[in-house]
Chain A
Amino acid sequence: MYWNGKMETLPRGALEALQLARLKETIKRSVEAPFYKDMGLGDYGIDDLSDIRKLPVTTKQDLRDAYPYGMVCIPLDELVRLHSSSGTTGTPTVVYHNINDINMWTELVARCMYMVGVRASDVFQNMIGYGLFTGGLGLHYGAERIGCLIIPTGPGNTKRQLKFLKDFKVTVIHVIPSYALHLADTLESMGIDPKKELAHMRIAIVGAEPHSEETRRKIEEFFGMDAFNSYGLSEMNGPGVAFECPYKNGMHIWEDAFLVEIVDPRTLEPMAPGELGELIITTLTREAMPIIRYRTKDLTALIPEPCRCGRTHQRIKRISGRSDDMIILKGVNIFPIQIEDVLIAIEGVRRNYQIILEQKGHNDHMIIRVEIDPALFQGDLKALEGLRARIMRELRDEILITPEVELCEPGSIPLAEGKAVRVIDKREL
């Protein structure tokens, strides 16, 4: 039942001793990176895991500022792979790996997949994007390590996905929640009951997008399979950071690889065990690019009680939100500032805008409402349609998703007093 029984059930005392040793090692290694070099990280005196709080945090902006190689602490010729974040503002955030990093990432993903019941005999259809995005390749390597037959379809082309599911008698899928629901809709409209005709499907690994218990329940009921929640972020490799066990009550975060803190996002003071706060992660095994106290901006809480599955690694709860204004749509990370930058550069619209996120059927989509500039209004409907098409095109180039654009009357959008007001999320998570 364990991929790496010794590590997954390591007693807390030994696990924490290992963490401390690896933390010291990580600090020693990190100072070789130009970004960390002059911070004096070696002088803080780390005698205990709680001493991590003495160290400065690292933010997404830091990673951007360090672009391209400022966070790398090994000779560049030892690097074997990089992944870059999706839909970022201008400068991407890039994470680099040497071969040991890839191996460790693969080990963590294999643990996750084995934990939920994936075995060498499984046929695994990976419906998540390959390429710069970490989701596809991350699970691919893990499944390959376990010995599955992998069908690397990536996302989209629903007809072919369904054909493969059936013809290859797929047993495990990796999918974003909205696409799983879209598949369900498609099957339903074709009159196919997957519980009968796709009865071989038994496990869905659901990741890359926040989703609710309700969505999980729908996926499980419709397909007649178990669905498991996966948590990861590209800065921490990607998938494989935390994963549900068969008890589906929180996600085990692999503490031999990640040192976890939950803090108050305003003060960075630690929250009491079990309280909701921002997740901060320090890499403990990363060689090419260690990251010290990374602010994930994801809000969650630790579940300090031991889990019935016997794993000693703590669990985190389902991510309940963000401490910044990042939007996650179709697996792509989007910041309102990106939309703002596009709109500001377009003549004919004003700066006031709103972002509305809704579900249409099972598809999440984005509506951008923006006021037209009365001073530049020429009275021509065709020009307005052209303006709208141009905004859609330019937004699509920036955020990789095509939003709907609604042109609004001047003064009709309430002036935003805080960032959050601009984003209206009507999705049921």
Chain B
Amino acid sequence: MAHQLSLFVENKPGKLYKIMQAIMGKNIDVKAFTIASADTFGVIKMLVNEPVRAREMLKEYGLAVALEDVVVVEFTNMPQGMFDITAIFAAEAINIDHAYCFTLGSDDKALFVIETREMAKITDVLSGKGFQVLSDAQIYAL
């Protein structure tokens, strides 16, 4: 099981900069982030190495931040890999709350980050079909 940070921010200029100021120069590596907004506020999700340490830094900076469980699954060969994973979700009737994808480095490896209410089931199903579900340490070892 991997973790992501979820931050509450007002929907105003300079907010991402404020977050980056909190972690800059402290060996926090940001692999990916997404922003979802609801008019005057939003939530930023970040995948970082050392999420627990990063959370403390952001907290000290006065931000509202939560640590969330996510399933991170590795796949290759876009779009075939994506096709295979989504076919499994469809067949197993797994609903996703929030997700994002990103590629790693120059090879065709990609990571799919998934938030769902069925964490255990999704992990079992994906592992059973031969996909690798990664931990925080494994993500940053890639």
Contacts and interface: CB of A to CB of B under 8 A. Distances in A.
A144 interface: no
Given A374-B59, A380-B6, A409 B42 contact: no
A168 interface: no
Contacts of A41: none
B62 A411 contact: yes
Interface string A358-385: 0000000000000011100111111011
A49 B134 CA distance: 87
A410 interface: yes
A378 B40 CA distance: 18
B112 interface: no
A381 B66 contact: no
A221 B45 CA distance: 54
Given A372-B8, A408-B10, A412-B10, A381 B62 contact: no
Interface string B103-129: 000000000000000000000000000
* Residue from B36, B65, B66, B68 with most neighbouring chain A CB atoms (10 Å): B66
B90 interface: no
B10 A379 contact: no
Interface string A197-238: 000000000000000000000000000000000000000000
A177 to B, nearest CB: 28
Contacts of A410: 62-64
A193 interface: no
Contact of B41 (A378, A407, A411): A407
Interface string B54-86: 000001001111111000000000000000000
Contacts of A385: 38
B139 interface: no
The number of chain B residues touching the other chain, given as a range, is 20 to 34
Contacts of B63: 374, 409-410
Contacts of B40: 406-407
B10 A409 contact: yes
A408 B41 CA distance: 7
Contact of A384 (B41, B65, B97): B41
B68 A384 contact: no
A377 B64 contact: yes
Interface string B28-48: 000000001010111101000
A365 to B, nearest CB: 14
Interface centre among A374, A379, A406 (most CB of B within 10 A): A379
B9 A379 contact: no
A407 B68 CA distance: 21
A381 B38 contact: yes
A11 to B, nearest CB: 61
Interface in A288-311: none
A292 B5 CA distance: 62
Interface string A395-413: 0000000000011111110
A379 B9 CA distance: 11
A377 B62 contact: no
Contact of A406 (B8, B41, B98): B41
Contact of B43 (A373, A384, A406, A408): A384
Given A385-B38, A409-B8, 18 more contacts: A374-B59, A377-B65, A377-B66, A378-B66, A379-B7, A381-B36, A382-B97, A384-B41, A406-B40, A406-B41, A407-B10, A407-B40, A407-B41, A408-B10, A409-B62, A410-B63, A411-B62, A412-B10
Q: Which 4 A-B pairs have the closest CB atoms?
A: A379-B6, A379-B66, A374-B64, A377-B64
